């Protein structure tokens, strides 16, 4: 079992969600986050005074998937979230020891 975390541009969320549904995903967790990478932040100007805004808004998606589904999910995210411009975000994959469905107590791949 793997956890896939993707940080993407917020306006791409709908497209990514649809692609993931098509790829067979049955659940996802989404958080509005702020941060910076190589894109850095931006500048805002109020009455002539400039403010550096380091953190730009991003959307973080967290998914739990079976090992066999990892490549398909990554392809789906990359294909839809990509704009070819700096700031498209990142995807990372980590191993998951256990997953428990709270309602039934099922564990492991059965709980995915």
Partner 1 sequence: MESGDRAWVLISIALVMFMTPGLAFFYGGMVRVKHVLAMLMLNFICMGVITVLWSVIGYSLVFGGTNPVIGNFDHYVLTDVGAGDIEFFSFQMMFAVITPALIAGAVADRIRFSAWVWFIVLWSLLVYSPIAHWVWAPDGWLYDMGALDFAGGTAIHINAGIAALAFVLILGKRNGWPNHPMPPHSLPLTLIGAGILWFGWFGFNAGSAFAADGIAAQALLNTHLAAAAAMIGWLIVEKLVSGHATTLGAASGAVAGLVAITPCAGFVGGAAPLIIGVIAGAICMFAVTLKTKLGYDDSLDVVGVHFVGGLVGSLLLGLFADAKINQGIEHEGLFFGGGLKLLGIQALGAGAAIVWSFVITAAIVLALKAILPGGIRPSIEDEETGLDLTQHSEQGYALSER
Given the rule CB under 8 A, which of 11-19, 20-28, 44-52, 83-91 is the region that contacts partner 1?
Answer: 44-52
Copy the structure tokens of residue 85.
């411009």
Contact 2, 73 (CB under 8 A): no
Could you tell me which of 75, 78, 79, 88 has the C-alpha nearest to residue 9?
88
Closest CB to partner 1 among residues 48, 105: 48
User: Residue 57's CB: how many other CB atoms inside 10 A?
Assistant: 11
Asked if 48 interacts with partner 1 (CB under 8 A), we say yes
Residue 62: strand pairing partners = 5, 29
List the one residue from 46, 85, 102, 103 that touches partner 1 (CB under 8 A): 46
Binding mask 49-88 for partner 1 (x = CB under 8 A): xxxxx-----------------------------------
Binding positions for partner 1, rule: CB under 8 A: 44-53
């Amino acid at each position: 079992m793997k956890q896939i975390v993707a940080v993407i541009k917020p306006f791409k969320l709908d497209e990514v969600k649809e692609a993931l549904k098509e790829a067979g995903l049955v659940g996802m967790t989404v958080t509005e986050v702020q941060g910076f990478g190589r894109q850095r932040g931006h500048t805002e100007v109020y009455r002539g005074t400039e403010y550096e805004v380091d953190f730009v808004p991003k959307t973080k998606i967290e998914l739990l998937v079976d090992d066999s589904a990892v490549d398909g999910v990554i392809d789906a995210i990359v294909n839809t979230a990509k704009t070819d411009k700096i700031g498209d975000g990142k995807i990372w994959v980590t191993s998951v020891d256990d997953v428990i469905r709270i309602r039934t107590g099922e564990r492991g791949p059965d709980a995915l």
